[in-house]
Structure 1
Amino acid sequence: MSTPQATTPPAAAQRIGSIDVYRGIVMFLLGLRLLEFDEVAKHFPNSAVWQFLGHHSSHIPWVGCSLNDLIHPSFAYLTGASLVFSVSSRTKQGQTQWHVVLHALWRAVALIFLGIFLRSVDRDATHWTFDETLTQTGMGYMAVFALAYCGTRTRWIWFSIILISYWLLYALYPVIPPHASSMDFNTPEGWQHDFSGFFAHWNHNRNVGWQFDTWLLNQFPRETPYVGYLGGYTTLNFIPTICTMILGLTAGTWLKQANKQGLSPVKTLAIAGGACLTFSFILHLGGICPIVKRLWTPAWVFFSGGCSLLILAALYQIIDIRQWRRWSFVFVVLGMNSLAFYVMRHTLDIWFSETLQKHFGTRVFDVFSPELRPVTIGACTFLVFWLVTLWLYRRKIFIRL
């Protein structure tokens, strides 16, 4: 077989590298949180560079999006895209339908409880919550798995049903008036991002998702009664997250078909991405639904999905068509062992940071300035975690569910 030319799509048997690179970029952005750019930026209020880094390494309070806000939707989107190839691979290996279904069920359950485990780290008891990234993905996984066996029309019908139903759930639920003492319901101090008018149906810890969680989560053993999540996330977010995964499932199908037929899906991905972004702004600016990531509103599904489609289109053009791969090695290492890095990032980060300071002191990390100490320590921690994934990569050890 001849080597693919720079302007041709990858051969059918070749692994689609853009998905691994995209997943690695997502993990890289997650790792950058270790450097605490948002906290360091407070020491440099007049620096445009630090303010930019701080803005995009933290979450938007309510409306809008930062680079950091795209981590979770990208993870969900890539789960859907990868599912296409996972199902195809297991079928080609001769696995029975029941074997594939049971594996998908195992993956869904494992993701749910792994997320709960990560949220329970450093707590005295199991912290029953269902808004963590892995948990949300696991809760919607079987629905997306079922749609992997359906045609395009069926997928879009269910996509529409889910989003419209979710929008109606919020839009028809009575607007909840302000709490007598907002701090008692985990509203951030100085909160000034509540809506008025129709958008008030999507206010922080005053919406149907919050109301549902005050019932559901208090059914589990808790150290203190649940009154709301400081970040405003809710269990019901998993419902529209299914739609984000459906967008990934659709993109994965386009990639698989194009890869098999020797075509380029870049134009299709780009057009779909632009259409999703346009529709998200129509929903927001038209007063139908706000772009709020923390409630995973329908407008957010289209906005984040549009971004994900455009990112994958660009990476496919660069990685799989142009074959410009050298720059991507750092991300490939992370992408091939994303689960291992994700778990390390959420379990060992504080311990490792404290260990570095205990054994080396703090002066060595003040080499640039005391204000930049979190960056220095975080960079060292990030590097060690990446080296662990490199060690796994070199030995062809890939930890997956």
Structure 2
Amino acid sequence: MDDSMHANESPPTQRLASLDVYRGVTMLLLAFTVPNWGWQEPIADAHPWLRPLAEQFEHATWRGMTLWDLIQPSFMFMVGVSLPYSLASRKRRGAMQASLWRHAATRAVALILLGVFLRSIGRDETNWTLEDVVSQIGLGYLPLFWLATRGPREQGIAIALLLTATWLLYALWPIPTDDELVVEHFSGFWAHWNEHVGPGVAFDRWLLNLPPRSTPFVVNEGGYYTLNFLPSLATMTLGLLAGQQMKSDRTAGAKLAWLTAWGVGLLAFGLALDAVGVCPLVKKVWTPSFALASGGLCLVILAVFYAILDVGGWRRGAEPATVVGRNPLAMYVMTWTIASWVLMNLTTHLGDDLFFVFGAPYAPLLGNLAVGTVLWLFCCWMDRNRVYVRL
């Protein structure tokens, strides 16, 4: 995840304000929505006409895609975008190939363990699970690093192979007929992508029971799997392709055209796979259709930010997101470690009434906004003092 930091170490002409802002906006969306989980429900209950909007701040139940579902693909996509800058920076400082590989391996292990740590907070024992976004990035990081040493053709082939292999693995996997834990969202051919069905759950029932546990692992209650890192590696590789385009000597117009054309094309392709029945669009198992559609949206979002900030030079109002985007790992860790503590202390010292000023339905949202503001102020202090969290 820290590769994104190194984009700022390249020469001034190579700095991408768009990447900082994209990272910052993504992290702020997380920070302003996590502390009071489910904050949108009271608002939607009070104002039913707002429910379609409120549903954008929660994962789709199974099939479909919401705004919240774009957070993890954006994380992973931007790791890929940043990698060419990171490699160029380290090579300019004299790093040899062996040193680069050691650093990549260390980072991969650190990210995997960081995800385990974050998922273990508040538990009585280590929660050996690997579906957290940073763990997923760590699992795919060494293959991504190897792909960064190859050309665009090989990278494109890798994306196609990863998604095709994932589709075949699920499509050919036997559908259980006697597993009471299966949640049937689909029937017919799409039953291969029902919740708690397929190679993902089978692999986790083997892998996650290898470490010592007080109770055996059976299923992930959210429907996420370790094997999601394979199709999400395709998302990171798509980001790698985009990063190489952005770092190239092509004109700004050519870069924008590439980002937009591929973004719209992949979005349409992913949605079409879902529409014609080839593969349902499901974020929680990172189906190929979801990887394509969400990756296409990431390309379009980056294109919009690039056009406004890097090409148009419009930076006014971007600094609040930029300070977070320069320290993304710090914001991510703070969101999952101290956000609840910040909310508790705000309530203790300022009282509950502060958050009920607009009525009970809005109290959880106001609490989230207050916590997000505090975490943002931490990032501002860290940026001013040049304190950056790196792995």
Aligned mates of 1:160, 1:218 — CA distance in 2: 31
Amino acid at match of 1:394: R
Q: What is aligned with 1:107?
A: 107
Q: How far 1:223 moved relative to its partner?
A: 3.0
Residue pair 2:23, 2:78 contacting (<8 A) in 1 also: yes
| Cα offset, 1:42, TM superposition | 3.4
- Name the counterpart of 1:4: none
1:107-256 alignment, distance < 5 Å? 107-177=107-177, 179-180=179-180, 182=181, 194-256=185-247
Contact kept? 2:231, 2:286, Cα under 8 Å: yes
Question: What is the Cα deviation at residue 53 of structure 1?
Answer: 4.0
Aligned counterpart, 1:18:
18
CA deviation after TM superposition for structure 1 residue 44, in Å: 3.8
1:210-240 Cα deviation digits (max 9, x unpaired): 1221222122222322121121000000011
How many Å separate the matches in 1 of 2:317 and 2:334?
Answer: 24
Q: How many aligned positions are there?
A: 381
TM-aligned CA deviation for residue 54 of structure 1: 2.0
Given candidates 383, 387, 391, the residue that maps to 2:373 is 383
Which of 330-339 and 153-162 deviates more? 153-162
Query: What is the distance in 2 between the residues matched to 1:228 and 1:350?
Result: 27
Q: Does 1:270 align with 2:260?
A: yes
- Partner Cα separation in structure 2 for residue 67 and residue 44 of structure 1: 16
Shift of 1:45: 2.9
Report the alpha carbon displacement of residue 295 of structure 1 after superposing the two structures with TM. Answer: 0.4
Residue 205 of structure 1: how far off its partner (Å) = 0.9
Alignment of 1:349-360 (within 5 A): 349-360=339-350
Whole-Å Cα distance in 1 between the matches of residues 57 and 32 of structure 2? Answer: 7
Cα offset, 1:263, TM superposition: 5.5
How far 1:255 sits from its partner (Å)?
0.3
2:278 corresponds, among 259, 274, 288, to: 288
Deviates more, 1:222-231 or 1:115-124: 222-231
Q: Is the 8 A contact 1:163 1:243 kept in 2?
A: yes
Deviation at 1:393, TM superposition (A): 0.8
SS of the residue corresponding to residue 276 of structure 1 reads helix
* Aligned residue identity for 2:202: Q
AA aligned opposite 1:115: G
Residue 201 of structure 1 and its aligned partner are, at CA, apart by 0.5
Tell me the C-alpha RMSD between the 2 structures: 1.8
Which residue is 1:29 aligned to?
Answer: 29
Q: Which of these residues, 329, 332, 340, is aligned with residue 339 of structure 1?
A: 329
Secondary structure of the 1:226 match is: coil
Q: Which residue of 2 aligns with 1:3?
A: none
Change in 2 beyond 3 A, CA 1:194/1:177 = farther
Q: 369-378 or 319-328, which moves further after superposition? A: 369-378
Percent identity between matched residues is 40
Instruction: Report the residue type matching 1:315 in the other structure.
Output: F
**What amino acid maps onto 1:227 in structure 2?**
V
Aligned residue type for 1:372:
Y
Deviations 1:81-100 (A, max 9, x none): 00011001111121111111
Cα distance, 1:177 vs. partner? 2.5
Q: How far apart in 2 are the matches of 1:375 and 1:353?
A: 12
SS where residue 24 of structure 2 aligns? Answer: helix
Shift of 1:133: 0.3
AA partner of residue 256 (structure 1): K
Contact 2:343/2:371 (8 A) holds in 1: yes
Unaligned runs of 5+ in 2: 1-10
TM-score, length of structure 2 as denominator length:
0.93
Where does 1:73-88 land on structure 2 (aligned, <5 Å)? Answer: 73-88=73-88
Question: Cα offset for 1:46?
Answer: 5.9
Q: Is the 8 A contact 2:40 2:57 kept in 1?
A: no
Q: Tell me what 2:64 maps to.
A: 64
Alignment of 1:297-316 (within 5 A): 297-316=287-306
Check the 8 A contact 2:24/2:321 in 1, yes or no: yes
| Counterpart residue number, 1:96 | 96
Is the CA contact (8 Å cut-off) linking 2:42 and 2:361 kept in structure 1?
no
Return closer, same or farther for 1:331/1:386 CA change in 2, 3 Å cut-off: same
- Shift of the 44–16 alpha-carbon distance from structure 1 to 2, 3 Å rule, reads closer
Question: Deviations 1:108-156 (Å, cap 9, x if unpaired)?
Answer: 1111100000000111111000100000000000101111110111111
Secondary structure at 1:168 match in 2: helix
